[in-house]
Amino acid sequence: MTKRTDNFHIALLSAYAVGLHGIEALIPTPVPWLRIGLANIITLTTLLLYGFRAGMTVTLIRIFLGSFLRGTFLGPAFVLSLGGGVSSTIIMWLAHILFKRLLSPIGLSLLGAVTHNIAQLFLAYLFFVRRPEAIIIISPVILLLGTITGVFNGMITGLIMKRVTESGRQKTADF
């Protein structure tokens, strides 16, 4: 496989991530803070297929492009998104290389979701709402939702990985 097709796939994966990110904003959710984090499916798939640099590239492209499209660039939502995205990508990659055989995409996705949530709560506290009781009150709900969405996204990533590795890496673009 040449470098050029890799770059092509990474660009395509970034586009998927931006698309999912945008679609997700349109889905009505029962709880206001609930974000499924569908874009994390793409981040995790990229990490597993192409490694850390590619995964981080897709995450950063998704966050920057997503914020340009929604007009939230450099606003609070952007800061939370950037902090959560970057930290969860790092943690998922570290867990993947440290516990190579022990963790399936579900475990990795769970770690990513929780890291994302904790980073966002921390940043929200640090920069926007210096009210510890407000952060503590919403933490359990966010933790619970993160666990549920983490398993969901991990299962989908697992299905994608299964299809991709069965049909060979060249078919990545087709899923």
Partner 1 sequence: MDKLIFLLLIILTVISFPLAKKFIHPGNLVKIASDNKIAYVLPLDEAETVTVKGAAGDSVIEIKNRKVRMKESPCPNKLCVRQGWIESGAIVCVPNRVVVTISNDENNGQYDAVSR
Which residues of the chain form contacts with partner 1 (CB under 8 A)?
32-33, 70-72, 75-77, 80, 99, 102-104, 106-107, 110-111, 114, 124, 128-131, 133-134, 136-140, 143-144, 146-147, 150-151
Nearest to 56 by CA among 11, 83, 86: 86
Closer CB to partner 1, 13 or 91, in the complex = 91
Closer CB to partner 1, 58 or 111, in the complex = 111
Indicate the residue type of 59.
T
Closer CB to partner 1, 12 or 114, in the complex = 114
Nearest to 85 by CA among 110, 105, 63, 65: 63
Structure tokens at 132: 């510890």
Query: What secondary structure letter does DSSP report for 73?
Result: T
Least distance in angstroms from the C-beta of 111 to partner 1: 6
Least distance in angstroms from the C-beta of 3 to partner 1: 33
Rounded to whole angstroms, the Cα distance separating 112 from 117 reads 9
